[in-house]
Amino acid sequence: MASVKTTTPRETGSAAVESRPVAIVLFGSPGSGKGTQAKYIVDWLGIPQISTGDMLREHIRGGDAIGQAIQGRMNAGSLVSDELVNQLVFERIHKPDCEHGFILDGYPRTTAQAEAMRRLLAASRAEEVVIHLVVDYNVIISRISGRRVCPKCGTLYNAVSHPPKTEGICDLDGSRLVTRDDDREEVVRERLTQYENQTRPLIDFFRNTTGRLIEVDASGDGPEQVFKCIQAELKDLVRR
Ligand code: AMP
């Protein structure tokens, strides 16, 4: 596994090199490719993906109290409560596999979550790197409507930009691909409205306060090309 290192600016030029966990925040609208890029980064850096959407869907599948409480909101494309997602992320980042760092995919989505995230990162001494995947609105609509997911391993496909080798079947485990409930058109519209109102404004929060913000044009190029740009920007995070 590649490990991750960061050097804080005040240490540059001195002999001291301090290893801190890195928190990669993947930021962008629904359909911007956060999940796909997260999986590339997992393979590259060996740090886990923390997808709040996946964690919430897991609760729904398990039919537990949390799952029952959030199912209606998720199926309608609304955000679930800040308290719940903050708690889920808090518990997740304290697991041993997050020791060297982690990728936040789909979190934070509100100002209250961003503030809670900052407190969490400060407590775990993690260095924050924000990657903003910038995508044109029309591209988003066509991507989401063609999106299919493997219900078993979570791999994402797209009929146009990233088709499976056999139509409707996961390349990795042969499962039949499905459309997520909240990828239906009316729900997608609501998710994009939520994004515009609650999440997009966070980009100003990050521009003003984060130490490191990388903005990548993720509209035109294929996912591998986008990942190459991210890799080039983050190559200092890999210690070989
Ligand atoms: P995603 O898979 O990231 O697109 O998330 C799917 C759905 O899960 C969203 O439309 C929300 O209903 C819910 N969700 C995921 N992450 C969050 C979050 N950070 N805050 C609130 N709701 C979330």
In this structure, what token pair is assigned to residue 206? Answer: 């990050």
Is 126 within the bounds of a domain?
yes
- The C-alpha atoms of residue 28 and residue 195 are separated, in whole angstroms, by 9
Is 17 within the bounds of a domain?
no
Is 16 within the bounds of a domain?
no
Neighbours of 148 (CB within 10 A): 23
For the chain, the average pLDDT equals 88
Q: Is the CB of 89 within 6 Å of ligand 1?
A: no
- pTM for this entry: 0.84
Tally the domains of the chain: 1
Distance between Cα 25 and ligand 1 center (Å): 15
Contact at 8 Å (CB) between 4 and 45?
yes
pLDDT confidence tier of residue 148, bands split at 50, 70 and 90: very high
Q: What is the DSSP string of 65-79?
A: HHHHHHHHHHHTT--
What is the CATH classification number for the domain harbouring 45?
Answer: 3.40.50.300
Is 168 within the bounds of a domain?
yes
Is 28 within the bounds of a domain?
yes
Is 94 within the bounds of a domain?
yes
The DSSP symbol for 213 reads: E
Contact at 8 Å (CB) between 107 and 85?
yes
- pLDDT digit string, tens, across residues 135-146: 988 888 878 888
pLDDT confidence tier of residue 134, bands split at 50, 70 and 90: very high
* Nearest ligand 1 atom to alpha carbon 70: 12
Distance between Cα 14 and ligand 1 center (Å): 42
The residue contributing the CA closest to ligand 1 atom 6 is 53
148 noted as active-site residue: no
- pLDDT at residue 239 in the model: 60
The boundaries of the domain holding residue 211 are 4-10+22-236
